[in-house]
Chains A and B, each alone.
Chain A
Amino acid sequence: MSSPFEPETEAEIADIVRAAAEAGTALAIMGGATRSGFGNRVAAQQPLTTRNLSGITSYNPAEMTMSAKAGTPMAEIEAALLENRQMLAFEPIDHRGIMGTSGEPTIGGVFAANVSGPRRLTAGAARDHLLGIRFVNGMGEVIRSGGRVMKNVTGLDLVKLLCGSHGTLGILTEVTFKVLPLPPASATVVVFGFDDAQAAGAMAHALALPVEVSGAAHLTESVRYRFIGSSHPEGAATVLRLEGLAASVSVRAEKLRSAFSAVAPVALLDRKATETLWRDIRDVKPYADGTQKPLWRVSVTPTMGHQLVAALRLAAGVDAFYDWQGGLVWLRMEADAEGDMLRRYIKGLGGGHATLIRASDAVRAATPAFEPEAPGIASLSARIKEKLDPKGIFNPGKMG
């Protein structure tokens, strides 16, 4: 690896890219590199980091929008928001624990990887909160898309296209995003002892009630004590989060508790315990284990999650827990990655996708990190890539 380019301005990035395109030099694009293990191995010798492109460029709390350069550390963004009792509603994951990385995650990295946490279930993903971007395309041109207003349908939505493209279509230089008020109160209703299938039914029931659940996860028995201590009833824990005005949260918590108290032991966690619990769920705490055991992030139809895990348990050593009402399965394999089997089972259950988040180098080399796309979609994606990065110099190979 060459020493990285560390440009400090958008214009510098554009110059670097133009020169790289001319020379045919492939670039490995990164922010703070806390998620650099994502995706397939990048066939590029020349790293480029945006971490010196840093700083909040505009923040108007009353308009609920913020703009920041791509390399701005998340810690800086979150501190500024907290000062104004605001937040990123999509609850981005801090991947350092499970990836075993250090350094500073950046806001550009969050959007480039479309990183979203538990509240994604009801508040939307990172992509739903990104209002506008500036980026440098593979020709070294600076492109603007979207804006800084909440509603905007002017032109093609390149904002969504770039969000989650893992640096393969353009280098984000500045992002403008929606922020929301911090809920003044929160609580978690915990239902103990459900198996995975019962939990799926319970979470679906909770989300059908008019109580505005803002997080629904099922912590299987094997991981539950990493989240909730033994002073509570035993067994798996199905957790349902409520947020909002204090008076309203307590009324809704009572409703939710009474919906389950006849069939299972129920506990109520206060605000402090709620904040810790959901941060731990967000950051996949049980699998931040310092190992290289293959870790999958599986996204399926919510009621299919437990069926997938049940089938896998018969065939391989797996450990799993669920977020997003059961639709997000965090799956740690004890030995082999079992990618083919996993993806076959997902297809058999009606579809979804599996992303290999972490594994040893040998396993990663043998397993496509992202779900292979259907042929019609794959060729369309290739044509789009060609329009933004015709020389193929951005993170080649990363997305397959």
Chain B
Amino acid sequence: MPETIAFQEPKRSVLARRDAIVEDLADLLPPGCLISEKRGLVPFETDAFIAYRQVPLAVALPETTAQVAAVLKYCSRYGIPVVPRGAGTSLSGGAIPQADAVVIGLSKMSRILDIDLANRAAIVQAGVTNINISEAVSANGFFYAPDPSSQLACTIGGNIGMNSGGAHCLKYGVTTNNLLGVKLVLFDGTVIDLGGKALDAAGYDLLGLVCGSEGQLGIVTEATVRLIARPEGARPVLFGFPSSEEAGACVAEVIGSGIIPVAIEFMDKPAIAICEAFAQAGYPMDVEALLIVEVEGSEAEMEAMLASIIEIAGRHGVSTIRESQSATEAALIWKGRKSAFGATGRIADYICMDGTVPLSQLSHVLKRTGEIVAGYGLRVANVFHAGDGNMHPLILYNINDPEDAARAEAAGNDILRLCVDAGGCLTGEHGVGIEKRDLMLHQFSQIDLNQQMAVRAAFDPHWIMNPSKVFPLEGRPAA
């Protein structure tokens, strides 16, 4: 395990009171909702950022907002750090605990409370999975738009924590654009309702501030989300190119021409090989780069958009064009793309970067990424949301070789600095977590961060909420 990223020093006063804390928490929760034995705690020691792990002090699995409030109130009274957790699919370590922390897992709060089709809104508990929302309204012709690749497992609470995106965000926006309201428990157990089924709320946009705050401002227990009428049809089309540069230039020209497909996904040759081996989606193996472009709407609309896209692709040397001929084929094409991370995990350990760059910089950043990773003697596979410039280089390494792991981490940091220097940002949809925390000063000045931390303190004055994340440990206000 690399040890470059430090966690906050555990509070000895908290560790010393461990048994008493566990006893007190047991009084606040129903039977079966508290884990305190070592064996039971181990599954909570990390998330999808597997390079780091820390066994927490205890795990609370509340069933109601009132129980979440009671646990938070208790923890804040005794200064016990709290780490919220949905399904533990964070790629940036957002849900990795710390030794003195109580994890509050929302997995038992997994009910859909209200589906209101006339107002195109659903109210769900935080532990409902992303895909469950769409499934619940699919028969009525609706869906919930943000679709992170982990949507089978990840929860809406976690999506809100990280302001998650997904392949179809190019047209429909990310979580914050599809969120109407939340029930939020503050550090001291106060419960507030932000937003609702109306399109906007009075006062400051606290909902916008909470979305993407990585569990540092409070714990979301319920969410009101926007539902959208499902388009008549959707068709993913594969475009193969002889080089990554040409694929990148094609993306820029499609967007620049005024066409906004619902998704434009990019895969380079290593990623194509990995995904095809897993999903047998029929990806062309003889190309250097592949775009999955999805159009949607009526037959006439899809035909018209595709004709324009095919014409543009022709100007960029496209060598293969394949339209899905059936719903099964379309599903396979997406299965291959959405299982890219899992499929990569079958052949090597990897860390997944998430920088976003302006579209005009895509080709340059792709090229430099390859050079950087090669410079560390490692391999990289690129699979990402090209339409909005959100890159996901997967750096392959061996987690059991500490030197290899350190090189992978160093390469990742170089790539993220490259993204910022190209006019982009450290993270487009995965969050800062612990992974990118120590790079924050590359994107922001200390004054910028001080302002963010001051606003954070308005919600959590004693820094008990997920405290090891987002902000570099040095330069924080004195507690």
- A interface residue numbers (CB < 8 A to B): 60-65, 85-86, 114, 120-121, 124-125, 127-128, 137, 141-145, 147-161, 163-165, 169, 180-182, 184, 201, 204, 207-212, 244-245, 247-248, 251-252, 299-303, 324, 327-328, 350-353, 355, 370-371, 373-374, 376-378, 380-381, 383-384, 386-388, 399
Residues of chain A within 8 A (CB-CB) of B304 are 245, 247-248
The 8 closest A-B pairs by CB, nearest first: A160-B208, A62-B256, A181-B258, A248-B301, A151-B428, A371-B202, A383-B458, A353-B202
Beyond contacts A147-B424, A150-B390, A161-B208: 13 other A-B pairs, Cβ-Cβ < 8 A, are: A63-B358, A149-B358, A151-B389, A152-B428, A155-B444, A156-B213, A248-B297, A251-B298, A352-B198, A371-B203, A380-B192, A380-B206, A380-B458
Q: Are B455 and A388 in contact (CB under 8 A)?
A: yes
Which of A86, A147, A388 has the most B CB atoms < 10 Å from its CB?
A147
A218–chain B nearest beta-carbon distance, Å: 14
A332 CB to closest chain B CB (Å) equals 20
Rounded to whole Å, the gap between the CB of A234 and the closest CB of chain B is: 27
Partner of A301, one of B198, B256, B424: B198
A350 to B203, CA, bound (A): 18
For B247, list chain A residues within 8 Å (CB): none
Count of chain B residues near A, Cβ 8 A: 93
CA distance A157 to B452 in the complex (A): 8
Interface pairs (14), CB distance under 8 Å: A63-B255, A85-B258, A86-B258, A145-B452, A151-B169, A153-B174, A158-B452, A164-B204, A210-B297, A251-B301, A252-B298, A301-B197, A370-B202, A381-B204
Residue in A closest to B416 when the chains form the complex, CB atoms: A154
B451-A121 in contact (CB<8A): no
In the complex, chain A residues whose CB is within 8 Å of the CB of B140: 208
The verdict on A208 contacting B142 (CB below 8 Å), with A151-B165, A156-B456, A248-B301 known, is: yes
Instruction: Specify which chain A residues have a CB less than 8 angstroms from the CB of B331 in the assembled complex.
Output: none
Q: What residue of chain A has the Cβ atom nearest to residue B175's Cβ? A: A153
Question: How many Å from the CB of A319 to the closest CB on chain B?
Answer: 21
Chain B residues with CB below 8 A from A121, complex form: 199
Question: Are A384 and B301 neighbours in the complex by a CB distance under 8 Å?
Answer: no
Q: Which of B177, B430, B449 contacts A124 (CB 8 A)?
A: B177
Contact of A143 among B193, B196, B447 (CB under 8 A): B447
Q: Looking at the assembled complex, report how far the CB atom of A250 sits from the nearest CB atom of chain B, in whole angstroms.
A: 9
Confirm or deny: B474 has a beta carbon within 8 angstroms of a beta carbon on chain A.
no
Please tell me if the beta carbons of A157 and B208 are within 8 angstroms of each other in the complex: yes
Question: Which A residues lie within 8 Å of B430 (CB)?
Answer: 153
A378: which B residues are within 8 A, CB to CB?
203
CB-based contact A377/B297 at 8 Å: no
B389 touches A150 (CB 8 A): yes
Contacting residues, chain B, for A181 (C-beta < 8 A): 258-260
Q: Given A164-B205, A247-B300, A248-B301, verify A148-B423 contact (CB < 8 Å).
A: yes
- How does the 8 Å CB contact mask read for B161-194 relative to A, with 1 for contact and 0 for none? 0110100010001101100000000100011111
Q: Which of B191, B230, B253, B356 contacts A152 (CB 8 A)?
A: B356
Q: Say whether B229 contacts A377, CB under 8 Å.
A: no
B432 beta carbon closer than 8 Å to chain A: yes
Say yes or no for B118: interface residue by CB 8 A criterion: yes
A149-B388, A153-B430 known; A381+B360 contact, CB < 8 A: no
B180-236 residues at the A interface, CB under 8 angstroms: 186, 190-194, 196-209, 211-213, 216, 229-232
Instruction: Please tell me which one of the listed residues A150, A328, A353, A377 contacts residue B356 in the complex, with CB atoms under 8 A apart.
Output: A150
In contact, A207 and B305 (Cβ under 8 angstroms): no
Q: Could you tell me if B163 and A153 are in contact, using CB atoms closer than 8 angstroms?
A: yes
> In the assembled complex, which residues on chain B have CB atoms less than 8 Å from the CB atom of A324?
199
**Is B256 touching A327 in the complex (CB atoms < 8 A)?**
no
Taking a contact as CB atoms closer than 8 A, the residue among A65, A137, A153, A327 that contacts B162 in the complex is A153
In the bound complex, do residue A124 and residue B173 qualify as a contact, i.e. CB atoms below 8 Å apart?
yes
B176 near A160 with CB under 8 A, answer yes
A302, B205: Cβ atoms under 8 Å?
no
Cβ of B120 < 8 Å from any Cβ of A? yes
Contact among A63, A141, A207 with B447 in the assembled complex (CB-CB below 8 Å): A141
User: Residue on A with the closest CB to B426?
Assistant: A154
* Chain A residue with Cβ nearest B422: A149
Evaluate contact between B120 and A157: CB separation under 8 angstroms. Answer: no
Contact between B198 and A248 (Cβ–Cβ < 8 Å)?
Answer: no
B425 at the interface (CB under 8 A from A): yes
Q: Tell me the nearest residue of chain A to B231, going by C-beta.
A: A210
With both beta carbons as reference points, the residue of chain B lying nearest to A245 in the complex is identified as B304
Q: Is B454 located at the chain interface by the 8 A CB criterion?
A: yes
Whether A156 and B204, one on each chain, are in contact in the complex, defined by CB atoms closer than 8 angstroms, is: no
Check A180 against B260 for contact (C-beta < 8 Å). yes
Chain B residues in 8 Å Cβ range of A151 = 165, 169, 174, 356, 385, 388-390, 428-429
**B334 in the interface, Cβ–Cβ < 8 Å?**
no
A158 to B447, CA, bound (A): 13
CA distance A160 to B424 in the complex (A): 19
Question: For window 418-455 of chain B, which residues contact chain A by CB distance below 8 Å?
Answer: 423-432, 436, 440, 443-445, 447-449, 451-452, 454-455
B residues in contact with A182, CB < 8 Å: 258
Q: How far is the CA of A244 from the CA of B258 in the complex (A)?
A: 11
* Contact partners of B74 in chain A: CB under 8 A: none
Cβ contact within 8 Å between B301 and A149: no
Is B30 among interface residues, defined by CB-CB distance under 8 A? no
Which has the most chain B C-beta neighbours within 10 Å: A61, A245, A399?
Answer: A245
A60 interface neighbour in B207, B297, B358, B429, Cβ under 8 Å: B358
How many whole Å from A69's CB to the nearest CB in chain B?
18
- B202 touching A127, Cβ below 8 Å: no
* Residues in B whose Cβ lies below 8 Å from that of A159: 208
Assess whether A399 is in contact with B229, with CB atoms less than 8 Å apart. Answer: no
**CB-nearest residue of chain A relative to B218?**
A380
Which residues of the partner chain B approach A161 to less than 8 Å between Cβ atoms?
204-206, 208-209, 455
Q: In the assembled complex, how far is the CB of residue B176 from the closest CB belonging to chain A, in whole angstroms?
A: 7
Is B317 positioned at the interface, with any CB of A under 8 Å from its CB? no
Q: Is the CB of A376 within 8 A of B190?
A: yes
Most A CB within 10 A of own CB, among B176, B194, B198, B297: B198
